[in-house]
Chains A and B, each alone.
Chain A
Amino acid sequence: DTEVTQTPKHLVMGMTNKKSLKCEQHMGHRAMYWYKQKAKKPPELMFVYSYEKLSINESVPSRFSPECPNSSLLNLHLHALQPEDSALYLCASSQEAGGMGQPQHFGDGTRLSIL
């Protein structure tokens, strides 16, 4: 059982749609992350939030827009995506963004397919 919950589990959308991915954790963690994972590849970091502020954007295209409404929630807003954006999107959290030995805990991901 994962303590990081992601919804929806699957999402199919057209290139002109707007949708959002949601992530929630109740472990009191102050750092939250979005990763993108293509098939048979390791996760690639997209964004890091620390104390509800965006601290890292790994040069992600603006069609992905993250939001952290509070310390437990993390959203990823999607608009005008491309077929190559189809992937598994993983959310993770850790106690602190810069703390030593504080592993990241992952949700089960949202499987996104762009038509």
Chain B
Amino acid sequence: GEDVEQSLFLSVREGDSSVINCTYTDSSSTYLYWYKQEPGAGLQLLTYIFSNMDMKQDQRLTVLLNKKDKHLSLRIADTQTGDSAIYFCAESISGGYQKVTFGTGTKLQVIP
């Protein structure tokens, strides 16, 4: 079966780095995504990584993938109050239909 797990809550001080973790169970995953959801809004795609990569950097965001342990992380450097939101990781398995399974979501609180 497919299960994508995340810790529920993370609190960091403004200016520090945040690391949000995700574990998944399906070894057939081809792409892994990070989405951000602010209150009252939809999901904003932040970044994604192909399963044959182990790292991807995009400005303040760094994604690390440990395929052996099925562990994905999102590091946000210099965290700002505007980064406060719920972060969902998601995995997809290619095939006739690209089914996306979302994680449980991590609420990031940034303290000024």
Residues of A within 8 A of B (CB): 2, 4, 6, 40-43, 45, 48, 50, 55-56, 90, 92, 94, 96-109, 111
Contact = CB atoms under 8 A, between A and B. Distances in A.
Given A98-B94, A98-B97, A101-B48, A90 B43 contact: yes
Interface in B77-112: 88, 94-100, 102-105
B6 to A, nearest CB: 9
A102 B45 CA distance: 11
A50 B104 CA distance: 27
A42 B104 contact: yes
A103 B94 CA distance: 12
B17 interface: no
Contact of A43 (B40, B43, B99): B43
B44 interface: yes
* Main SS at interface, chain A: loop
B48 to A, nearest CB: 5
B102 A107 contact: no
- With most chain B CB atoms within 10 A of its CB, the pick from A4, A40, A50, A104 is A104
A53 to B, nearest CB: 12
Contact of B43 (A55, A106, A111): A106
A66 to B, nearest CB: 15
Given A42-B88, A42-B104, A42-B105, A98 B45 contact: no
A98 B98 contact: yes
B105 A40 contact: yes
Given A42-B105, A98-B98, A105 B88 contact: no
A109 B96 CA distance: 27
B47 to A, nearest CB: 9
